[in-house]
Structure formats: structure tokens, C-alpha cells
Structure 1
Amino acid sequence: MAPQEVFHAAGGQEQQERAAREVRQRAILRVAVPVPLRRLFDYLPPAGMTSEDCRPGQRFWVPFGKRSLVAVLVDVVDDSPFDELKPALERIDSHPVFDQRSRQFLQWAADYYQAPAGELYAAALPVALRKGKPADYWAEQWLELTTEGKGLPETALARAKKQQALLQLLLSCGRQSRTALNARGLNSTVCKALIERGLARWVSGPTAPPPIENAEPKPAPDLNDEQQQAIDAIRFGSFSASLLEGTTGSGKTEVYLRLMERALREGKQALLLVPEIGLTPQTLRRIAARFPDFRIAALHSGLADGERARAWLSAASGVADIVIGTRSAIFTPLPRLGVILVDEEHDGSFKQQDGVRYSARDLSVVLAKRAGVPVMLGSATPSLESLHNALSGRYQHLHLRHRAGNARPPQISLVPTLHQQLQEGFAPQVLRHIGETLGRGEQVLVFINRRGYAPALTCDDCGWLADCPHCSSKLTLHRRQRHLRCHHCDYRMREVHSCPQCHSRNLNALGAGTERSEDFLAHTFNQFPVIRVDRDTTSSKQALDRLLEPARNGEPCLLLGTQMLAKGHHLPRVTLVVIQDADGGLFSADFRAPERMGQLLEQVAGRAGRGDLAGHVLLQSRYPEHPMLQLLLNKGYGAFARQLLEERALTQLPPIRAMALVRAECEEARWAEEFLTNARHYLEALAPPSPQLQYLGPVPALLERKSGRFRFYLQITAEKRGLLQQMLARFCAWAEGNKNRRLRWAVDMDAQELS
């Protein structure tokens, strides 16, 4: 090339580089800000930074009105519809906390649930990171092998036993934190020896999750044929969705553990979602006992802010091998994701009921598909949505029809209570069975789905009722705490001993809650401990675990509690289960009530006879001849659920059709109702009612007033979910123009509650 051509080429290259620098300097940060507006916001990079310093997934402090908020960088663009942009204030993270797959997944969820992306990103972050704490704050030193070290055989350092042990550990389990190495007795001297040989090096990274206490390694039990078939049906390396329908005590957890093992063997991460915080400690111990050499992170609201942030970062960085968490764990970035497992998939706890109203169960299927991994939904009482997907072929339907080991299904008996003289809600023959069971040295579980002493307090002279001043509900008497409490808004007032209306002292506590039943049972069976399990006795961390310890040790005792006792507990010495009131859900205005009733009765009954001893279940009912109860008892939950699906098909309700609720609440009932009336007119103009699209409302919620606000909803059911999504997207843009700041509105896609 001639010198002049070289000069021109060089000059052209310089111009291109200068133009590229100008583009980079003009780059715009498109961020998700945690505000209730369904759009992203544009900012310039912080002073002194170019786009090369800003990577999607990082967090920034940004000015928003008079506040500074933590925003997540979603994209870097070179154009904005706005002429004047403010610069972001400060970059928080040196590395992204959300990878590309997580960002795309969160955007999909925001679009599907018609939610502000900024609020969804905020919901995905643990509280400490939501408040702007740098991710590097929890960094620690890790020892990892160099390229040369990775190429060595495990026996390369056989003459130096400690160095050999360290080399084997790093080759088999990957990099190790300084804390973990110290716990294994591999001190800095041994590490230094490998570093000086050029075989290892220290790097900075997220803190490893702490080891699980009281988890003694245990061998895997033998599988029965059904368990083996369920495991063999799952193909790793590609997406599949499976429903594992297994009777209570059939060994579903063992199937989860075997699938985890396969994922870990391939160097992947396993995600297990559980419905309740209370189930986490026992599940953690069981998993840690099976996988003592792997790192396990727990994610739930019972953790301290720092503890949860460390666990989240260890999962998001790929340090944690197994992640177990409640609903919000579905949003945790998992770079090595290999399998997703959802235990008790029917449980309503997987659906967020305020803020961003998402379903972790449904999102688990979406995430698995986007990541190309298998997902398994497990339950003894599958939700009608999952069962419908399995019966229509969208999910693989797997069965565990028999209990594991020598356990057999319990005998179930209905106890009619109409025209019977009850003692504090218990029939005489039920009390006799409880005494006989305890006398044999066995355990009894009594299920009462009402906490407190009594659900109502009334005056027998003038008829006064203790109502909540803020909600359409009665105050529950809590005699131990000496107050009346609303279980919806948590309003409390001191216990009254005379009627505030007529001043009579003839007050009557109506009905029985767990507290009242505890007093009665403790007095009646005073030689045996009564363990009450409800929200009042399990408010502190690890409380449920401590309460259940005597029962796990096999001591004869009487367990008394609410739904917290119905989920996932394995108590082999419980041989008698008493359900004080089996009629809940038979006459509710909520079309989902019979489904929930059937699930709850089956789950509670499933706590009986899980060991070698036979189990017996007593269901007290005022309506023992009710056809739904008879179907459940005589044919089982499978036939019961299929009957409900046939009814849903006739009424064209979910899961046969998609359903969304537009909710509105306000201190003035007429404003909420008027807003939804206008919303219906707007939506009907977009898509008139037809056999494929139906509207209902606005109607009052089942709990019409809560926390001083009147609540209404507009129900929309559609044959095609796509049409519903298009309508709701346009509705949200219209509704954001609402000027009444005292009115709140929300879209609840795939709503689970009418209350």
C-alpha cells in the first residue's frame, strides 16, 4: 500500500474511532425504576462514565423527582424520545447482578402480569440490595485452580497429603471459600503451597452459604417401581413440564432428591420451591444430609436482610449448587440452572396477592422453557390448572399411587355433629378416640382452621358484636394476649369485659379457635403435652421447627393447629387425625372454595399413618351426606378434582378459560365502583361481550372493606389468553391517566382470590 493510502486509511480509522467514542459518550441508560408506571426511563451515564462502564444488569442510583431511587439497567441505547436527560447519580455494582436470561424473564413476567417492570425488578431483589447495598459488600476470598492445576490428575500431589486433599477437593467440587477451607482444616499454609506451585490462586467472589446445622449424612433409600419410573421419565438437557401426582407419604421428596442429584452430577444448579417458610428448615436438613459436599442457599422472608442478600448473591453468581426458597426465589438469577422442582404446587402461597400479582408456580414453567430445563410440579392434590394441563397433554402426567415403605392409607370416617352435644366443638366419640390413641403412646393431630380463642365476641343482652372498625369482619378474641384482633388489617383493641353498647357484663365468646381448643384439650388430657401450631406461636425464626421437635422424637403428644400443620410434615407416630369442621368451602361464594376444601382435607388426612402404624382420620361434619364430601371420601381426590373440572367446563371458568380481575379500592365505595364501571365501558368498546369474551361486574369483593378501603372487582373471562392480554395492556395505559390519587387499581391476571 502506498504511503498516502496508508495515511488515508489511518485517518479514516481515526475518524471511525472518534465517531464511535462520540456514540459511546452519547449512549443512554434505559433503566427500570421501582415506581408504579409501566415503562422504562432514560438517563445519561453518571459523570465520568461512558457506556463501556455501564452494563445491563447493574444497579444505579438515579434521581427521580425529589428522591434518589435504586434502578436496574435494562439496556444501553443511542437514542431517546426525550431531549433533556438527567445523568444517573452513581453506579452501585461493578458487575451485573441480573444476567441476560433473568432480565428477559423478568420483562416477560412484567408484560404477562401487566406489572411495572421496575416494581418487578424490586420484588426480585432481596431487601438489602433493593435499598442500594453494593453486592461487593459481601465478597470474600475464594481459592480456585489455575489452568495448570485443572490439568493435573487427582493423585499428582500424593506425597503431600494435605495438598493432595486440597487438590482433590478443588478438582471435584470447584473453587472453595476461605471459610469453607478453614472448616475442613485446610489452612492458609496448605493453600499457599498450591499457589506457589502455580496450581491455584485467590479470587474475590460472593460469600458461600453457611453449612446447614444438624444435618447428618444419610444414604439414599431404595426406590420403588413408581418412583423409578417417574425419575426415568425426566430427560435432562431440554425443556419438559411434568406433574407428579403422588398420594401423601408416597415419596415425592425422594424423587426430587434424585433429580437434584442428576443435575448436580452434570455441574448444574437445582431450584426447589416450597410454599411455606415453616417447611424450609426440615427440607434444608434433609437435602444437606443427602448432599453434604454441595452448597445450599435458602431464600425466604424469615431471614435477616444481610443473610438473605448473601444467599441470593451466592445463587446468582453460581456459587450455590442448590437453591431452596419460597415464592420470590423464582426470580433469582441461576446461571447454571439444571432443574426446577415445585413442591405442593397446588398451594395458594405460590400466588402473590398484592403488589405484583404473579404466580411462582406458573412462572416456574416459563423459566424452565426459556432455560431449556425440566420442571416438575408435585402434589398429592394437584391444582385444577395443573391437572387440566396434564390431562390435555401439555404436561407429562406421572403417578405415585402407593405410600412408600410399609405405610398404608389411613381409614377415614365421617362423624355427624348435627343434633350432637359437643364439648368445645368436639363430639364425644372423637374425644374417646383421642384418649385411646394417646393411651397407646401414639400421637394425635387436631386440625382447626381458626386461630385465637374465639372468632367472635357478642353481648347476649343487646346483640352487640365486636366488629373491626376498618374491615367487613369480626374481631377475634385472643385471650392469652388479652386483646381483640382483626386477622385482615391487624387492628387491635384491649379485651372488653362489659358491652360498650349497653354495659352488660353478659358477654359470650362464640365459636372455638386454636387457643380455646388448646385450653380444653390440655385440661381433658392433662397427662400429655398439647402443642399448638399457628401463626401466633410460630412468629419467631425456627419456632415451628422447635415446636415439632417432641413430635419428631416420637413422644406421645397432641398436635393442634391450622393449615401450617397440613403441609409436608412427616410425623410417623401420628396415627389419629381429627378435622373439627370438614364443611368449609361447601357453601362459599368463591367458585374455587370446593377445590381448596378438597385439597385441605386430603392434605390434613395425609398426616395420619405415615409410618408402620395404621392411621385413622375423623372428619366432623354437619352435612355428612353432602355429595362432594361423599365423592371425596369414597372415590378420592382424583375423582373429586375431575368432577370439579367438568363443572368448570360447564360454567366456562378457569382453567377452561383465562380469567383476569381488574381490582379497585378506595375509602369512598362509589369512586371505586365508578372507576370499574368506566373501565368496563372502555374494555367493551375494545372488545364487546361475546360467547368468547365475558364480563362480570363491577361487584364487591367477598371481603368488601379492608383497612378502611372499599374493594370491588371487574371479572373478565376469555377463550383466548392473547386477546385478554392485548385488552389489558391497552387498559393499563388508559387507567394510568386516572387522576384520583386516593383510588388504587390493579390487574390480577390468573386471579386466585375473589376476597
Structure 2
Amino acid sequence: MSEIVHVVVPTPAHSSLSEPLTYASELPLSPGSLVRVPLGKREVCGVVWDAPAEPSAPPPAQLKRVGGVLDGLPPLSAHWRQLVGFAAGYYQRSLGEVALAALPPQLRELDAGQLARRLKRAAAAAGAPAQATRPDLTADQQRALDAIAAQDGPFLLFGATGSGKTEVYLRAMETLLARDAQAQGLVLVPEINLTPQLQARFVERFGADAVVPLHSGMTNPQRLRSWISAHSGTARIVLGTRMAVFASLPRLGLVIVDEEHDPSYKQQEGARYSARDLAIYRGRTEGVKVVLGSATPSLESWQACDRGRYRCLEMPDRVGAGALPAVRVVNMNHQPRGTLFSPPLLAAIQARIARGEQSLVFLNRRGYAPVLACGSCDWRSECSHCSAFRVFHKIDRTLRCHHCGYTERVPRACPKCGNVDVAPLGRGTERLEEQLAELLADARRQDGTPVRIARMDADSTRLKGALEQQLAQVHSGEVDVLVGTQMVTKGHDFRSITLVAAVNPDSALFSSDFRAPERLFSLLMQAAGRAGRDAAHAAASEMWVQTFNPDHPLFVALKKHDFPAFAAQQLRERRQAAMPPFAFQALLRAEARTQEVAQAFLQAAADASAGLEGGGHVVVYAPVPMAVQRVANVERAQLLLESGSRPALQAFLSAWQPVLQDLRTKGLIRWAVDVDPLAV
């Protein structure tokens, strides 16, 4: 006799197939089983799901049949299905889209024999975690670990850069694995380039067999290997980027989110989920402890501590004799116009070089210059496909759009008037590196050799292994001055850097994005944290900030390394303006061939929202073009929704979904809802 099973399949977010489909099966199948089922003219991988509260389906004889089952693979747990169901509902996506995106692509292609061999290899690789070279704990670290052991959490580990947060993570994980021989842990990091060094620390402590990575930079076979090790319980620790929050860990006992403030935890395409927020949800529903770590917590997490929802564990002191650098703010209003490096800053860098120490110069803009311009007419290096300028990259003489990727060779003369006087405007890291080399041309290292300058950004580390090679050069002392974007400011333990300089941070101070000051303060604090990490140089370490606004409250707080004061000031402003975290937001974004079509869809959506559940507590603003209005010849617009009640906003969005699906505007390419957006 055939059984009726409910299966979620990979479907677009806004299709009519957003709920589980019903199939007939020869055998009873447990929820969480992976199956192959027919969908239209093709066969797809699906997950057997829990039956709806009020199931309604035709007799099994009238249903399509399950094509096959991945035998030998334990079903995905009820906790995992609950996580996927919550994420799909909260972020307004389909179950199948979230569930299948969380699984490694190659899993869908395995037959039973291949799966059995992979499970056997995973089991053979498993072993008891090794125990390694532990350092003595500071008093702050011990207090944090005692609190984690004794209390429930979630915990916010508010530790200064260099205070030893990683050692707390390691010890907390060590305690878990020692207590339960089958327990598993999840460690999240915001970016792929931070994965290798943290993974190395965990491998050193627990052994290579116990730790597996999981991130989008892995090949499909690598992702499959890690996923099977985690799902089968043989991997003890999964360490990965935001996608790893969906890892199947049947014996999960601890979740760690490093640099919890980082915006990279928010997915920007497809299901726009926050891995940090899902980690908190996962910890609550699975009854496991969650530790969020940061030197500059997000204002949402900081407010959660104020309200008693999180427990704040403070570690204000650096390990050993390390000290936070003194912050020196240079008033650029007193410098000649066009000055790149003020004389005092340049002298300070030269002094570091003479002493055999290293400096880091931070500018969060890659390329040579953001714009190439004609001196005779109004031509600028605009992208023909986007409402943005193409960035000049001198190293390969190209104009490259950082939005759509469109690239051309630099023209020999102005394409509009023929003038050969075409010049770069503004600076990126490539130009900064060149100009710094000119300014330091006469400087010499202790051994009399010329100064060595390196640049680290998305362009210089594009090739496989380039990032690791450049980091090794910095650590070995082959580099005197490191120029880079934000990728050099996070998580790196540079022992010989004693000076960090931010040469042009002002643009974020007056941004229309209300989160810009929070991001800037975090970035500058993180950058400052790269200096003074070695006790031998700690006393002389400095952070230099060149600004035209030296009295801005952000720089006043930065000089004191006073995150609580900065957070209090920002939260006061947010409360007065009824901005998050004192209100809740969502965006409806639309893409079309013309701006008129995009905005017409949004306006129709706004008009159709009247009377929906929760609507009395939701403000629907007028549609506007996005900040970058056109990308790859697609026009983009958005509509903001705001509410003082998260449940009211969720109820409204759920009621709005079928309305949006019925709005078939001609010329509309796609639309998407972004809940809790980070950029408005």
C-alpha cells in the first residue's frame, strides 16, 4: 500500500509551489529524508517534510511517485527543519528555496553506492579530538568562561582587540567536547579570508580530523565532504561563513559567532537571512549556548544586553603587556589643500621604518582612482550599464565597474571631445600605494635597503593562494608598510605593526545611511586593533586619523577607545528618530527594464496593502530609486516599511505575499522582500 509523503523541492521564492508537494511512496519515509521526485519534466532532489496540520491530498494512486531515496543518510533532524521553516517564514522565502540551498549541490547527484562510500570515508576519518601548547588564562578570560559554564546565555563577549576572545572560544569548545564524547560545535566567521587563520587555531588545538570548514569558496566535492562529516556526527567542529549556520549538526552543543557585528553575516541575494540572528534562534530552539564575540558589538546586540536578553561578558584588557594604541586625530583643515599624508603622519611612518617596525595604511576603496575625467569637457568614466562610475585600475590600464564587472581598456583620449588630458580623480588603494612609494623613496630600512610596500585588497588577492602569501610576507617582516582595504583590519594578528593610519574616513560621517557611523566606528576600532599587539612595541603604538571633522563625537569616542559612549550616543539618536533597534524595517525591492515600471509595481503594492493584517501598525513609505539606481542595465527601486512591532510587521508581510504574487506588472524582472535590511 502506498504512503502519502510531503516533500519540499527547490522552487523560486514567489512561485505557487512554495509549500511542500505531495507524492506517493512505496515505503513510509521519515521527515527529513532526502529523496528524488519528479517535478514537471525533470527529477529533482527534495526533503521529506512534516505533514501539514490539515493535510489534503488526492488518493495515492493519483499522485506522482517518489523516484528514489538516499538510503544510508540519516534524516535531517526536526531541529534543522524547524530552523529552515523559521528562516523561510521570517525572511519571506519558500521552504524549498531555503532547504535545498542549505544542502551541498553535489549531494543531489549521489546514488546510494556513492553515498555509502562517502559515509564510510567520513567514519574512517573520525577520531577523538587531539588536545594541544594551552596558554595561561587572564583573569578576564577565566571570568568569561566561568559565566559561560554557569549561565544559559546568549552571551555577548565584549572584548577589546587582542584581549584573547579566540582563546575563550577554544576553551569553551574544549569544555563541551570533554563533557560529551559526541557533542558538536559550530563556529561562524564573517568572511572567507578570516577562515584559514581561525581554522588553523582550532586544528592546532583539536586536530585536523575534528575540524571541517564550510563556506562558499570550497569546491562542490569539498563542501559535500564537510557536510557529510557534520551530518553523520563524525566532525566535532564546523567552522564556516554565514552559510554554515544551516549545517546539519545532530549533536550541536555550542555556537560561536565571531565578529558578530560584521554586516557580512547578512545575505544580500536570494533568501536575505542574518546568520547571526539565525544562530541565536538556533541556540534557543535547540537548547544550546551561543557566544557572540566583538570588540565593537552591533547596536542590536548591545541593546539586547541593556534589556537583559543577552549576558554581557567584558574583557577590556589585552593579553600580556599589550596595550591599545594611542589615537591621534589630525585636523586636515590645517593642511595644504590636496595633502595626502600630513607631515606628522609621514614622519611617524618613517620613524617606524627606521626602527624596523611596520605600519598599516587603511583606505576602504580599491583601484587606482574612483573616476577618470576629461579636463576639457564633462566626460567621466561612467558605466554604460550602471548608474555608477567605472573605477580606474592603473596596474592593467582598465576601467572596471565594481557593480556589473564591465571592463574596458583606458581610452587614449577623451571619447567625447578627443582631449588627451584625461586624468584620475580621487584615490583608491592602488594610487595610495604608488604615492606612498614616491613619498618614501628616500627612506631606508635598518639594513639600508629600500622600503617595501605591499597592497592587500580584493584585486591583489584575487588569485588562489595570494592572500596567504601576502599575509606570510607581512608576518615574516618582508613588508614595511601595508596598504589595504577593510580586509586588513579584521582579525589579523600582526605582531610588528605599531602604527595604523586611516587617511580618508570622513565620507561615512554624513551618509544618508543611518548605519554608516556605526560601521565606520567599528572599522576604525578594528583597524586600531591591529597595532600594539606585541608587548615589546605596545607602549609606542599609535592610530592616526586624518579628518576634516576632528570634533565629531565619533572621533571623540575613538580617541578614548570608548565604545559604550559611542553606542549610547548612537542609541539616543536612533530612539529619537524611531530607527532600529527601536523600530523594525523591511524593504520591497523591484527590478525592471525601466525605472517607471519598477516604481509602478511598488506603488501598486503599496496601494494594495490597505487593510492587511498588521497594517495599522506599519508605515508604508513611497517608492524611490535605489542608491545605485541601475546595475547591468536593470533599473532598481525600493519601498520601505517600518513598524514599532516586529509581530505586526511579520503579520503584514505574510498577508502581503499573495497580493504581491498577483501583481503581474508588464516589464517587471523580479522583486524581493528584505527583512531587517542593513542598507536602506
Task: Report the TM-score when normalising by structure 1.
Answer: 0.83
Structure 2 Cα separation of the partners of residues 429 and 556 of structure 1 = 22
CA distances 1:578-606 after superposition (whole Å, capped 9, x unpaired): 11112131110111111111111111111
Shift in alpha-carbon separation, 1:606–1:30, aligned structure 2, 3 A? same
* Cα displacement (A) at 1:721: 1.0
AA at the equivalent of 2:5: I
Q: 2:32 aligns with which of 40, 57, 70?
A: 57
Aligned match of 1:721: 646
1:40 and 2:16 aligned: no
Shift in alpha-carbon separation, 1:419–1:93, aligned structure 2, 3 A? farther
Structure 2 Cα separation of the partners of residues 364 and 136 of structure 1 = 34
Structure 1 Cα separation of the partners of residues 348 and 127 of structure 2 = 45
CA distances 1:528-565 after superposition (whole Å, capped 9, x unpaired): 22221111122234432221112222445211110101
Structure 1 Cα separation of the partners of residues 87 and 317 of structure 2 = 37
Structure 2 Cα separation of the partners of residues 210 and 491 of structure 1 = 49
Q: 2:655 aligns with which of 730, 733, 736?
A: 730
Q: 2:81 aligns with which of 103, 107, 129?
A: 103
Shift in alpha-carbon separation, 1:478–1:135, aligned structure 2, 3 A? farther
Task: Report the TM-score when normalising by structure 2.
Answer: 0.92
Aligned match of 2:444: none
Structure 2 Cα separation of the partners of residues 720 and 590 of structure 1 = 22
Structure 1 Cα separation of the partners of residues 176 and 335 of structure 2 = 56
CA distances 1:334-359 after superposition (whole Å, capped 9, x unpaired): 11111000000000000001100000
Shift in alpha-carbon separation, 1:609–1:476, aligned structure 2, 3 A? same
- Give the gaps of 5 or more residues in structure 2: 442-449
Aligned match of 1:701: 626
Aligned match of 1:132: 109
Shift in alpha-carbon separation, 1:248–1:635, aligned structure 2, 3 A? closer
1:154-169 pair list within 5 angstroms: none
* Cα displacement (A) at 1:204: 6.9
Conserved 8 A contact 2:359-2:482: yes
Conserved 8 A contact 2:155-2:312: yes
Conserved 8 A contact 1:270-1:322: yes
CA distances 1:54-107 after superposition (whole Å, capped 9, x unpaired): 332233333333443322221368954457432233334542452221112111
Shift in alpha-carbon separation, 1:492–1:66, aligned structure 2, 3 A? farther
Q: Give me the CA root mean square deviation.
A: 2.5
DSSP 3-state at the match of 1:27 = strand
1:120 and 2:89 aligned: no
Aligned match of 1:223: 137
Aligned match of 2:161: 248
Aligned match of 1:262: 175
1:629-708 pair list within 5 angstroms: 629-634=555-560, 636-686=562-612, 692-708=617-633
Q: 1:300 aligns with which of 204, 215, 236?
A: 215
* Cα displacement (A) at 1:206: 5.4
Shift in alpha-carbon separation, 1:207–1:330, aligned structure 2, 3 A? farther
Q: 2:311 aligns with which of 389, 396, 399?
A: 396
1:469 and 2:446 aligned: no
Structure 2 Cα separation of the partners of residues 349 and 209 of structure 1 = 31
* Cα displacement (A) at 1:522: 3.2
1:320 and 2:246 aligned: no
Structure 1 Cα separation of the partners of residues 354 and 558 of structure 2 = 31
* Cα displacement (A) at 1:569: 0.5
CA distances 1:129-171 after superposition (whole Å, capped 9, x unpaired): 2x533486365589xxxxxxxxxxxxxxxxxxxxxxxxxxxxx
Structure 2 Cα separation of the partners of residues 424 and 92 of structure 1 = 65
DSSP 3-state at the match of 1:743 = strand
Structure 2 Cα separation of the partners of residues 343 and 664 of structure 1 = 33
Shift in alpha-carbon separation, 1:141–1:73, aligned structure 2, 3 A? closer
1:75 and 2:50 aligned: yes
CA distances 1:198-218 after superposition (whole Å, capped 9, x unpaired): xxxxx6755748999xxx985
Conserved 8 A contact 2:157-2:292: yes
AA at the equivalent of 1:260: M
CA distances 1:412-464 after superposition (whole Å, capped 9, x unpaired): 11112235247772222222211110110001111011111111000010020
Structure 2 Cα separation of the partners of residues 428 and 444 of structure 1 = 16
DSSP 3-state at the match of 1:704 = strand
CA distances 1:623-671 after superposition (whole Å, capped 9, x unpaired): 2222332233246222111110111111111111121111112111112
Aligned match of 2:534: 611
Conserved 8 A contact 2:605-2:663: no
Aligned match of 1:5: none
Shift in alpha-carbon separation, 1:239–1:66, aligned structure 2, 3 A? farther
Structure 2 Cα separation of the partners of residues 635 and 76 of structure 1 = 54
Aligned pair count?
661
1:739 and 2:664 aligned: yes
Q: 2:429 aligns with which of 511, 514, 520?
A: 514
1:446-461 pair list within 5 angstroms: 446-461=361-376
AA at the equivalent of 1:568: G
1:750 and 2:672 aligned: no
* Identity score, percent: 40
* Cα displacement (A) at 1:294: 5.3
Aligned match of 1:333: 248
* Cα displacement (A) at 1:44: 2.6
AA at the equivalent of 1:694: V
Shift in alpha-carbon separation, 1:695–1:136, aligned structure 2, 3 A? farther
The structure having more radius of gyration, on CA atoms, is: 1
AA at the equivalent of 1:391: D
Structure 2 Cα separation of the partners of residues 470 and 93 of structure 1 = 49
Q: 1:585 aligns with which of 505, 508, 519?
A: 508
1:265-276 pair list within 5 angstroms: 265-266=178-179, 267=181, 268-276=183-191
Conserved 8 A contact 2:122-2:228: no
AA at the equivalent of 2:652: M
Structure 2 Cα separation of the partners of residues 262 and 221 of structure 1 = 15
Structure 2 Cα separation of the partners of residues 118 and 65 of structure 1 = 15
1:490-569 pair list within 5 angstroms: 490-525=405-440, 527-555=450-478, 557-569=480-492
Structure 1 Cα separation of the partners of residues 339 and 109 of structure 2 = 53
DSSP 3-state at the match of 2:573 = helix
DSSP 3-state at the match of 1:686 = coil
Structure 2 Cα separation of the partners of residues 241 and 349 of structure 1 = 21
* Cα displacement (A) at 1:269: 1.0
Structure 1 Cα separation of the partners of residues 295 and 232 of structure 2 = 34
DSSP 3-state at the match of 1:548 = helix
AA at the equivalent of 1:249: G
1:569-580 pair list within 5 angstroms: 569-580=492-503
AA at the equivalent of 1:28: V
* Cα displacement (A) at 1:273: 0.2
Divergent runs of 4+, >6 A: 209-212
AA at the equivalent of 1:636: D
CA distances 1:17-61 after superposition (whole Å, capped 9, x unpaired): xxxxx3xx142333233332362242434xxx5133x33223333
1:235 and 2:160 aligned: no
Structure 1 Cα separation of the partners of residues 286 and 472 of structure 2 = 39
DSSP 3-state at the match of 2:261 = coil
CA distances 1:665-696 after superposition (whole Å, capped 9, x unpaired): 21111121111112222223226876x53232
